[in-house]
Chains A and B, each alone.
Chain A
């Protein structure tokens, strides 16, 4: 099973709203990632969690707040977003290094529209 699930699939929110994106995997992966992807562009890394600790923050604005409650779950809390934050938000996970596998497995994404 190489499935990463994300909810919701689509989200429309106003600039004053607070919402959360959810990502889940049950593959025993210990690294989880948030990416932002604009149309016709490659994914851009936002955050990396390794063993439930924030490992990388790619200078993301504080209106995006990640959370990793346990090894299977990753959230992205959104507050006071701007219209330019509208994008596809992708979650990914990768196996432990000891597994010998290094690829990231991606979820289907959440299409976010900020109005």
Chain B
């Protein structure tokens, strides 16, 4: 069975601080996909990034960066120079390939990030 662990339930930082959200996963699949989603108070889940199991390149997108390490089964997310608008719940998720064209996502419990001015 697949499992995603986000050990940090809540994190509070002051604006402009860097913050790293941890994600550790378990799967028996050799091919899998990892995702990060952001859920602001409005409720919509916003897709941030996808990473394939065979692509361990780290990625940077503006203030966001992701560190994928298969050796430690981790897919951590760093926000540099955090802003108040980054305040949200962040979910890490792992996909299990279903039949047809669908993918079953296993979500972590989420990390509530609060960025204070």
Contact = CB atoms under 8 A, between A and B. Distances in A.
Contacts, number: 76
Contact of A103 (B50, B104, B110): B50
Interface in B21-56: 33, 35, 37, 42-47, 50
A33 interface: yes
Interface residues of A, number: 33
Contact of A56 (B43, B45, B98): B98
Contacts of B102: 31, 33, 48-50, 55-56, 94
Given A90-B45, A108-B43, A109-B44, A31 B50 contact: no
Interface in A65-115: 88, 90, 92, 94-97, 101-109, 111
Given A42-B91, A42-B110, A55-B98, A102 B43 contact: no
